[in-house]
Amino acid sequence: MSAAVQTTTAPRIAVLISGEGTNLQALLDAAAAGTIGGRVALVVSDRPQARGLERARQAGVDAVCVRPAEHTGRVAYEAALLDALLAQEPSLLVLAGFMRVLRGPVLERFAGRMLNIHPSLLPSYPGLDTHRRVLEAGERWHGATVHFVTPALDAGPRVIQYRLAVRADDTPETLAARVHVGEHIILPRAVGWFVDGRLAQRGDQAVLDGRPLAEPVTVEAGT
Ligand code: GRF
């Protein structure tokens, strides 16, 4: 198959971001290297200054901003977001540092086709500010989780986790940096499984290679 044909037939991935976009970059790199089968076809941000928009454009990927301030209310905003996404008819929607909760039409349209990366070992520490909360609680372990998105915040079926031991001298900043390293491993892996047809959501479980995952696949730091 020629490269041109591969480009047009590869499953299309849309990515929602709000900021730096290092996880987006990991996906762009994996797609460029051929380590995942799909291609990032569209990046949408809710913030015009998100550095991830620039990363997308540098990679030749359509990048648009859909600003909440230009829409009256959450429902109208989500409808506009859905319109932007459907322009590319993606088969998978990835939330990679998108700092808004989706509850309406996007969630319905992409049910079972929507992955999020969260910086904690879910179900522990859903929500914001996870690195500081983990340190304050004196936890020994921390990490990141890729999970399917459902209406319950950070509570959809878990697919894969990266796990690291918290160090005595860790700060929220060092932990964030160490967790990011793992995020860049597990997010492309989960996305690759999905676009290869190996990963699916069945009800409240993730299914990998036909087997329901009672626990997420775990990647240990340093392995
Ligand atoms: C990551 O820590 C991710 O887990 C969280 O937001 C952060 C995004 O980082 N949801 P980046 O924009 O991909 O660098």
How many angstroms separate the CA atoms of 72 and 75, rounded?
Answer: 8
Least confident stretch, 2-16, 32-46, 172-186, 207-221:
2-16
Closest CA to 182 of 165, 170, 198, 169: 165
What's the pLDDT at 222? 82
What's the pLDDT at 2? 42
- The residues facing 13 across adjacent strands are 40, 92
Q: What atom of ligand 1 comes closest to residue 117's alpha carbon?
A: 4
How many angstroms separate the CA atoms of 175 and 162, rounded?
Answer: 13
Q: The tokens of 62 are what?
A: 């359509």
Quick: pLDDT tens for 119-138: 999 999 999 999 999 999 99
Phi, psi of 26 (to 5 degrees): -60, -40
* Residue whose token pair is 């319109």: 83
Q: List, in order of start, the domains of the chain with CATH numbers.
A: 12-220 (3.40.50.170)
What's the pLDDT at 14? 98
Take atom 6 of ligand 1 and give the residue whose Cα is closest.
97
Contact residues of ligand 1, CB 6 A cut-off: 17, 19-23, 96-97, 117-119, 144, 183
Pocket test for ligand 1, best of 55, 128, 132, 180 (most atoms within 8 A of CB): 180
What's the pLDDT at 103? 86
- Output the CA 87–ligand 1 centroid distance in Å: 25
